[in-house]
Structure formats: structure tokens, C-alpha cells
Structure 1
């Protein structure tokens, strides 16, 4: 099973949370192959791996109550990245609680569905902690939110394995 974590991180906050998601994925599915790809670093983009992935977890910092423009540009221009029929999930980082991170996550998932992906948000069906759309970490709470992001990663791995891996 292959899972791509595709994110943009300027300050390192979103990247740190991507690492926690990866830890969660690997705790649930140790045999999984997981690659981190930061849109800031073109060299980290492994299109072949992304195209072979069953799931893509997107991570965006929240700017002006929305996703970062780099992620929007990815959805608009990277047609070499085959996203259709994969599981999509998303997390966000923000500077403040009312910064619009939930809008950023919804927008990413909307773009993912437009590209033919299946949206997964964990939701309330998995019990506590509830992760309705995707986890959010504020810049002053990154370490405090680590377990939430690991749980999210585990849940993404569970669903990817359940729905996309042939047994």
C-alpha cells in the first residue's frame, strides 16, 4: 500500500504535522510505503510514486481563510499527477483558531473530488477524538496536537487498506 502526503510548508509547521500523520499511518500499517512531498521543493515531487498511491493526504497552511496558493496551483496545473480513484484526506495548520482552516480543508477536499478522488475526513463515526473534516494545528500548539495527527494518519491507513487494497 502506498500513501503520498503532499503538502506545502514555508515555515516548517505544516511539514511537522505531515511527519505526525506519517507516523500514524505507519503505526497502523507498518508495511505501507509513505512519501512526503513538499510543494516548496520540486525535487521532493515523485510523480511516479504519487500516481501509484492508493491515497493522498494533503496538508495546507491556511492563508487568508483558505488553502495556500501553491496547493491551488497544484490542482490547477499538475495534470501529470493522476488523482482519480484515490482516497483524499486533508489537514491544515493556521495561526489562529478563527483563521479559516476548516474552509481551507473543505476547499482542498472539493478540489480533490473535482479531480475524481474519494473524500475521507474521519468524521464522528470513529468516535473520539472527532476529526470532522481533518485535523487542524495552530502554530503555538503543534506538539500538543501530535497525537491527533497520528490518530488521523491511522484512520487514513485503515480506510485505504479497507477500500483500496486487495486482500
Structure 2
């Protein structure tokens, strides 16, 4: 099963977290996870993925306009029925990541995706709306991002590999 981690990153922080999430997903048997910047999408891999995790830095309590533009122009990608999730990076605690995640989740719903975050249902660490890291994350936040990728991949396997 394929899982794509699609992100926008200016400073490199969001890209680092994307790789951690993919590493966590790749720990699940029969999962092939790849990261891709919105400026360098692997069309074939994204279209054949059963799960897609989107990530963005936060700006003024929202996700990046670059990712918004990608969503607006992404009609060539059929995301309907795929498992979707989101993650965000922020420069400081309270930087708007929760709002940014909810906005991304809204776009996933519009695209017809099945949205999953693991929430509190999987226990500690909780990822209510998705994984959040301050900048590139401290060790605990980085581990949480990896666990997040693992949980999304596990859920995708349970849904799509009957």
C-alpha cells in the first residue's frame, strides 16, 4: 500500500517533519511511504496512494498560501476515497497550528477524503487534529510525528488491505 506525505516548506522544518512521518509509516509492513514537496509532486505515486498526509508551516494562524493554491489547482489528482491526514509546524506555542490543521482538514473533506488523526483513540501521545511541531520539533515532538505516521499507515492498512 502506498502512502504519500505532501508538504510545503520554506525553512525546511516542515520538510524534516514530513520525513519523520514517512519513516513512521514505513515501519508498517506492506507500506511504501514517500515524501514530496508540492513543487515536486510524483503524479503516479500520489494517484496510486491509498493515504495522503498533508503538511504545512503556519502563517498568521493559517496554513501556507502555497498549499492552498495547490489544493485549488489539484483537480488532476483524484483524492476521493483516500485516507487523509494533516500536520503542521509553527514557530511558537500558540502559533495557530490547530486552526491551520482544521482548515487543511476542511480541504480534505471537500476532496472526498476519509479523514483520520488517531486523536486520543490510540492513547498517548495524542494527536487531536494531526501532528504539530515547534519549528523542526524537539525529540518528543519528532517522536510524536513518527508515531503519527505509523498510526495513519496502520489505519490505512486496516481500511484498504482486507
- Same fold by TM (over 0.5)? yes
TM-score, normalized by length of structure 2? 0.95
What corresponds to 1:8 in structure 2? 8
Separation in 2, partners of 1:58, 1:28: 19
- Aligned-residue CA RMSD in angstroms? 1.2
Separation in 2, partners of 1:140, 1:148: 12
Give, in angstroms, the shift of residue 23 of structure 1.
Answer: 0.9
SS in structure 1 of the partner of residue 4 of structure 2: strand
Separation in 2, partners of 1:15, 1:110: 22
Compared with structure 1, are the counterparts of its residues 141 and 46 closer, same or farther at alpha carbon in structure 2 (3 Å cutoff)?
Answer: closer
Give, in angstroms, the shift of residue 50 of structure 1.
Answer: 0.6
> Is contact 1:17–1:142 with CA below 8 Å preserved after alignment?
no
Separation in 2, partners of 1:50, 1:97: 32
Separation in 1, partners of 2:122, 2:28: 15
- The Cα offsets for residues 50-86 of structure 1, whole Å up to 9 and x where unpaired, read as 1110000001100110010111111111111111000
Gaps of 5+ in 2: none
Separation in 1, partners of 2:136, 2:68: 26
Separation in 2, partners of 1:32, 1:53: 10
SS in structure 2 of the partner of residue 6 of structure 1: strand
- The Cα offsets for residues 89-123 of structure 1, whole Å up to 9 and x where unpaired, read as 01100011111101111110110110100110111
What corresponds to 2:36 in structure 1? 37
Separation in 1, partners of 2:28, 2:35: 17
Which one of 102, 105, 129 corresponds to residue 106 of structure 1? Answer: 102
Gaps of 5+ in 1: none
TM-score, normalized by length of structure 1? 0.93
What corresponds to 2:17 in structure 1? 17
Compared with structure 1, are the counterparts of its residues 145 and 82 closer, same or farther at alpha carbon in structure 2 (3 Å cutoff)?
Answer: same
What corresponds to 2:135 in structure 1? 139
The reply on whether 1:91 has 2:94 as its aligned counterpart is: no
- Structure 1 stretches of 4+ moved >2 Å: 140-144
